Amino acid sequence: MSSIMPFLATTGIMLVIGLGCLMVKRDMVRILMGVEILFNAANLAFVALSTQTTGFVDVYAHSMVIMAIVLDGTVIAVGLAMVLNVYKHYKTIDIRKLRRLKW
């Protein structure tokens, strides 16, 4: 049985990168990339923690992660469609410029 520490360290690094993208970036596509990194970090942690019983791998956790990957893909697809509509309408995807708009 391998150690869980490399997986948790990778999860931590991915969480920091994802949160950094959410806090620092002003581009809507990069924000969506940060959200996707956060989703992948949660999935990695869930699978890594499901393998902690010696000689047993929890199939339920793996099936939940597969469903989460499918749902994450649909969320990102809808987000990219929204970004495309915003760009077509306002000719920018910069959040600072979009905040100045009055609806």
Task: Read off the CATH number of the domain in which 90 is found.
Answer: 1.10.287.3510
Is a pLDDT exceeding 90 seen at residue 99? no
- pLDDT tens sequence across 29-56: 999 999 999 999 999 999 988 888 777 7
Q: What does the pLDDT average to over 84-96? A: 90
Report the chain's C-alpha Rg in angstroms.
18
Identify the domain containing residue 25 by its residue range: 5-99
Percent of the chain with pLDDT over 70: 95
- Contact between 6 and 51 under an 8 Å Cβ cutoff? The reply is no
How many CA atoms within 13 Å lie on the side-chain side of 82?
A: 10
Q: Which residues contact 79 (CB under 8 A, 6 or more apart)?
A: 32, 35
Task: Give the residue, 55 or 69, on which the prediction is more confident.
Answer: 69
Task: Give the residue, 4 or 102, on which the prediction is more confident.
Answer: 4
Considering the entire predicted model, what is its pTM?
0.85
Burial of 86 (0-12, 13-18, 19+ CB in 10 A): middle
Is a pLDDT exceeding 70 seen at residue 82? yes
